[in-house]
Amino acid sequence: MNYNMKLRLCMPMALIAAVLAPAQSATLSLKVGDEIQPPGGIVQMKLFLTEPKPISTGKGRLAISASVATGVEGVSLFSSAGDAAGAAVVHGTQVQMICVIPSTILGSNPDYPLVTITSNVRNDAVIGSSVPLSITPANLVLLDQNGVPYSEEIKSGSLTIANNVSITDVNPGSATLQAGSTVVISGFNFTPTTSVQIKEVNLSNVRYVSPTEIDVTLQSQVTMQDQEVTAKNPDGTSAVYYSFQRTTLAGSSSSALFNATLPIFENIFWTTAKFNFPLDSASTYSGVAVQNLNPATASVKVTLIAPNGSILGRRGLSLTTNSRLVRRLADLISTPPPAGSYWLVQSNLPVQILGLSGDSSAGTVSPVLPASAQ
């Protein structure tokens, strides 16, 4: 499997003007984790830092070989502050991602990957084959908290195809669960003696259901987003999976670019979020993504408000449990927004909300964080 990631980051002009010579940054030491997966399993490409360094924002292009992968299931970013957000445009096995981390602490915990790309392994992948998982340093640019690019040293990993124990999903994968809740671990080659561990989480019960399912019961409250889940068999084989919630896309947008976008939400929940979007142009336009992890349907309202506070348009939407919507704002409210207007996205239940800025000429989508909550 060939993974090629290209990150291109833009240094703020104010920072460039503030220095007479290019600033020298530290060196990032990175590695791509090794993977052993069966045909039909799930491979997570995991990019780790070997020592903590602050990272602020970035853009990346990832190509997964269609000869061994059949699609992308999800893209995750890890920030201990829970504020990492992004947008990943997916076309087949091609991913283009832009991310922002307001706290600049992405990379502060070397025990967790900076980025995880989750893909399906083809059913006809050949047992015993091994292919590299690599990133070329020349194609990777990351900025520190001051906007200065790091130099990098990257150690490649590999993917080996074998009849290994495998985790393919964790459900719920992102919600905050109370003590006594059940988490379903799905996968391959589980046995009655398979052990399951969620890092730093006490389990009161582990129950083997079938070769493809193990259920665990939580002993205390846990937020499941980005939890490290490990399954081990007595033969010494093991699998590590970082959890995230796979939600269902509700409806579609008039924008093909937004329809191909996987929003990467902050681990923050809103009932009201305010956005100040720029006016649309010939090739750029704004949108919104909302994700509902509640067990009940959420009632969502999108409102366009004039500078004087008057309502120019409003649209109500229902978002069922475990689903997400991605919409161009012009799909929701046809009134052209005047200069100085703003948007409110409101919900009767706490939901994840992210603004989107699409550029059809570049084929990219950028995340836009709420300006405030009300």
Mean pLDDT, residues 18-28 taken together = 55
pLDDT of residue 319: 98
Q: How many CB atoms lie within 10 A of CB 358?
A: 25
Q: Is 317 exposed, middle or buried (0-12, 13-18, 19+ CB in 10 A)?
A: middle
Q: Amino acid identity of 164?
A: N
Burial 187-217 (b: 16+ CB within 10 A, else e): bbbbeeebebbbeebeeeeeeeeeeeebebe
pLDDT of residue 63: 60
Distance CA 116, CA 5 (A): 12
The answer to which of 46-50, 65-69, 239-243, 254-258 has the lowest mean pLDDT is 65-69
Chain position carrying tokens 């989508």:
365
Peptide bond preceding 172: is omega within 30 degrees of 0, i.e. cis?
yes
> Could you check whether 3-161 and 269-368 share the same CATH topology?
no
Q: What are phi and psi of 103, to 5 degrees?
A: -75, -15
pLDDT band, very low/low/confident/very high, at 25 (cuts 50, 70, 90) = low
Instruction: Say which CATH topology domain 269-368 has.
Output: Hypothetical Protein Tm1070; Chain: A (2.60.290)
pLDDT of residue 19: 36
Q: What is the CATH number of domain 3-161?
A: 2.60.40.680
Q: Is 28 exposed, middle or buried (0-12, 13-18, 19+ CB in 10 A)?
A: buried
Mean pLDDT, residues 40-67 taken together = 79
Mean pLDDT, residues 359-363 taken together = 94
Distance CA 333, CA 307 (A): 17
pLDDT of residue 1: 42
> What is the separation of C-alpha 231 from the centre of its chain, rounded to a whole number of angstroms?
22
Mean pLDDT, residues 96-113 taken together = 82
147: tokens are: 């906007």
Q: Which residues pair with 177 in a beta bridge?
A: 222
pLDDT tens figures, 150-161 = 888 888 888 999
208: tokens are: 């083997």
Pick the CATH number of 167-236 from 2.60.40, 3.40.50, 1.25.40, 3.30.70: 2.60.40
Q: Which region, left, alpha or beta, applies to residue 91 given φ > 0 means left and ψ of -120 to 50 means alpha?
A: beta
pLDDT tens figures, 225-282 = 999 999 999 989 999 999 999 999 999 999 999 999 999 999 899 999 999 999 999 9
pLDDT of residue 7: 36
Question: Average pLDDT, whole number, for the chain?
Answer: 87
pLDDT tens figures, 165-192 = 999 999 999 888 999 999 999 999 999 9
pLDDT band, very low/low/confident/very high, at 20 (cuts 50, 70, 90) = very low
Distance CA 345, CA 328 (A): 13
Q: Amino acid identity of 305?
A: I
Domain ranges of the chain: 3-161, 167-236, 269-368
pLDDT of residue 16: 32
pLDDT of residue 17: 34
Q: Assign 3-class secondary structure to the chain.
A: CCEEEECCCCCCHHHHHCCCCCCCCCEEEEEECCEEECCCCEEEEEEEECCCCCECEEEEEEEECCCCEEEEEEEEECCCCCCCEEEEEEECCEEEEEEECCCCCECCCCCCCCEEEEEEECCCCCCCCEEEECCCHHHCCCECCCCCECEEEEECEEEEECCCCEEEEEECCCCEECCCCEEEEEEECCCCCCEEEECCCCEEEEEEEECCEEEEEECCCEECCCCEEEEECCCCCEEEEECCCCCEECCCCCCHHHHCEEEECCCCCEEEEEECCCCCCCCEEEEEEEEECCCCCEEEEEEEECCCCCEEEEEEEEECCCEEEEEEHHHHCCCCCCCCCEEEEEEEEEEEEEEEEEECCCCEEEEECCCECC
Q: Is 309 exposed, middle or buried (0-12, 13-18, 19+ CB in 10 A)?
A: exposed
pLDDT tens figures, 192-234 = 999 999 998 999 999 999 999 999 999 999 999 999 999 999 9
* 10, pLDDT greater than 70: no
